[in-house]
Amino acid sequence: MKTLRNWTLHDRHDAGCDLLVEGRHILRIRALEDDLIRVSLLKNGAWRLDRTWTVAPGGAMPWEGRARDDLSGFSCPAVTIREGDALEIETARLQLTIRTPLQLCWAAWIGDEWVPFTEERPTGGTLMGTDDHRHGHFLRRYPGERIHGLGEKAGDLERTGKRYEMRNLDAMGYDAETTDPLYKHVPFTMTQTEGAGAWSIFYDNLASCWFDLGNELDNYHLAYRGVRAEDGDLDYYVRWAPQMLDLVKGQVRLTGGTAFPPRWTLGYSGSTMSYTDAPDAQAQLEGFLTRIEEHDIPCDSFQMSSGYTSIGPKRYVFNWNTEKVPDVDAMTAKFRDAGVHLIANIKPCLLQDHPRYDEVAKAGLFVRDSEAPDQPERSSFWDDEGSHLDFTNADAVTWWKEGVTRQLLEHGIGSTWNDNNEYEIWDRKARCDGFGDPVDIGLIRPVMPILMTRASEEAQRAHAPGRRPYLISRSGAPGLQRHAQTWSGDNRTDWKTIRYNIRTGLGMSLSGFYNIGHDVGGFAGPRPGPELFLRWVQNGIFHPRFTIHSWNDDGTVNEPWMYPEVLPQIRDALALRYRLLPYLYTCLWQAVTQDEPMLRPLFLDHPDDPAAWEERDEFLLGRDLLVANVLDEGATERTVHLPLNGTGWWDFHAGTWHQPGEVVVQKVGLGSVPLFVRAGAVLPMSGGAMRADPGAEAERQLHLFPAPEGAAGCGVLYEDDGISEDAPHSLLAFTLEGGETLSLDWQQHGNREPVLGTARVILPAGEHRLLRVRGADMDSGDEIAL
């Protein structure tokens, strides 16, 4: 690669300018918002790939992708441009200075001056391949900065000083502390500076790339960080904000927002490879319904693994093994009658001996071999070789939707689990149709799972119009969250996996993937022991996706009742999950409508607390719940750091108030689930239900956690029918005044009444102030009209 050095101002635009670099490349600079500037390098004046599937500021995305030149959805404010020894481009909040040799330097307007926050490495910031489209981009590193992001990564949440690769892999049984790469491609980082706010950079490039965030040293350069890509365009977005939370919300808006699935998706979801792998799969699956009833376990869905499609030991998408499942319609009817939604595993690769392989190959629906373009590509897949469907081919999309509809939806299976969709095609020049404009697979591998999931979604929407669809996808890139929930893949059973999966999930959440979870109990490896399994469940109940899933080495199944000695504690954890559903659903609604992350590291809401930036096991669910699960084998106590805030924290269970910043040491036993609530919060809860359907709730509770005297608090409860698009809704906005007498009031918004017309108000055991609800004196436990 060659360092780019020489440039001249080529053209001015209202929102930016173009530079001519080395006499032949165009460096395009556009202010998209006052706090967001885009920089694009067009080699020889042309895009390598002239469209994107990740940037969608309005949420909509054409199937064929959005033209990179399309700036719709952005305000594109006018900029000030000054020429001199350097070129300066300014918005109301950002200043970009371009020096010679080519170096981009960034500053933010803070107070009454421009404060620098980053700049390119002065000894070569941009490198470009001479005879290919490899490129590198290098920025300086500074003492004290903290780097987060990159989505789904193993190890610590802070990425500073480490090296990572983006190359989607089926990393079954990965080590949650060390394995890299994993399933997703998320080229996005955020940097917290010392004294200059926070900034993010998002590289809109789907080719494999490497992020070095300080692992590499070179005597010829100042301390630097870099991104190297094997192909594609150098096209990146720089955003600045006073706090990191603004960057997180900005990134999810940039990539199209968050899908709003049905409420039942927040309930417990069962799953295992073992049931559908068994020769009597239908009996095993129906037996699950019997056992959840016998053991009094609430459950809203079941994720069917791919064994239902098997011929021998292998899997064949859209093929029903009628020996294992002799009467699929009778089986799905039993699940429907039990109120348990079925979700079916589907895969985008057809093995070479798939019953429909020749049909699909003849129709030209596979990605094609680079050297024999009339032939499908062949890749390793599930103990054989197969060919991947090309979801940039409109006919392949149609074929897929027909398969989803006829083989699943018409049989009563309403949701899809889009799995094994990493598209491990290592012939980088294998050809994709590109909706009539062919493109190399190496440029768009991570977009294939997005398009696969979107095809499934369209089939589900067409089959059940007016209903919110639910989809899961294991692999993808920014933009996947517009369509599906995701999870951290096939983790390995180990005590440390719980701890590091928490960090993995927070990394995804910081990068714009809010609706996530992990395989509870561990997917691969040995079965978990009783204590490990219990702790995994107690952690899983606080994640949006709560699924117990497994493929244990010894053929056992992770099920709530697998260890009778801890079943009472498992039931208690599940009951807590269902009691929290009104709060969880409100958090999900806020993620969709206000771009608020559901899972939040402590520093996101408490950036001024130094301890909150340390690697921690605690995390926030929404703004109000601090989760401090027990994660160590044989633990008898749990030390919890309560972040510095203005009001303190309540122990959810004991009802005792704690000072902001206090370090609490709790005695713990097997049933302990340490949980704290922000003082000032109004927490909507259920009195208990065995279903996530809002109609299953018999009692609404408002748990009040008042702030100290003189401080006000608040809370929100969002409700609708839980399943419909554009459903009538009720939004209650509560205020809780914390004077000598507590005062609760609320305003109602929306176009329907609350699901329940009354609620029981409950105060912590340690709160003894008088409570007035809309002027009427109340005691804890009294019922009020909403």
Task: For residue range 283-336, list pLDDT tens digits in order.
Answer: 999 999 999 999 999 999 999 999 999 999 999 999 999 999 999 999 999 999
Average pLDDT of span 58-70: 97
What dotted CATH number matches 260-484? Answer: 3.20.20.80
pLDDT at 374: 94
Phi/psi of residue 229, nearest 5 degrees: -120, 145
Q: What 8-state DSSP symbol labels residue 174?
A: B
DSSP 334-394: HHHHHT-EEEEEE-SEEETT-TTHHHHHHTT-B-B-SS-TTSB--EEETTEEEEEB-TTSH
Within the chain, all domains assigned CATH 2.60.40.1180 are found at 601-785
Task: For residue range 597-606, list pLDDT tens digits in order.
Answer: 999 999 999 9
pLDDT at 480: 98
Reduced to 3 states (helix: H, G, I; strand: E, B; else coil), residue 219 is coil
pLDDT at 557: 96
Within the chain, all domains assigned CATH 3.20.20.80 are found at 260-484
Q: What tokens appear for 555 in the block?
A: 């053929």
What is the pLDDT confidence band of residue 157, given thresholds at 50, 70 and 90?
Answer: very high
Q: Please, are residues 5 and 102 in contact by the beta-carbon 8 Å criterion? A: yes
pLDDT at 709: 87
> What is the rounded CA–CA span in Å between residue 553 and residue 524?
7
Instruction: Give the whole-number percent of the chain exceeding pLDDT 70.
Output: 100
Average pLDDT of span 341-347: 98
Task: Identify any residues that bridge with 3 across adjacent strands, giving them in sequence order.
Answer: 127
Reduced to 3 states (helix: H, G, I; strand: E, B; else coil), residue 458 is helix
Task: Identify any residues that bridge with 225 across adjacent strands, giving them in sequence order.
Answer: 139
Say whether pLDDT at 710 is over 90.
Answer: no
Task: For residue range 631-649, list pLDDT tens digits in order.
Answer: 999 999 999 999 999 999 9
pLDDT at 688: 85
Q: Is the dihedral of CA 248, 254, 255, 260 positive or negative?
A: positive
> What is the rounded CA–CA span in Å between residue 389 and residue 349?
6
DSSP 394-420: HHHHHHHHHHHHHHTGGGT--EEEE-S
The residue to which tokens 């057809």 are assigned: 350
Say whether pLDDT at 739 is over 90.
Answer: no
pTM confidence score: 0.98
Q: Give domain 601-785's CATH superfamily.
A: Golgi alpha-mannosidase II (2.60.40.1180)
Between 567 and 711, where is the model more confident?
A: 567
Q: Please, are residues 728 and 718 in contact by the beta-carbon 8 Å criterion? A: no
pLDDT at 544: 98
Phi/psi of residue 605, nearest 5 degrees: -105, -10
Average pLDDT of span 402-431: 98
Average pLDDT of span 534-538: 98
pLDDT at 609: 97
Task: For residue range 357-385, list pLDDT tens digits in order.
Answer: 999 999 999 999 999 999 999 999 998 99
Mean pLDDT, the chain, whole residue set: 97
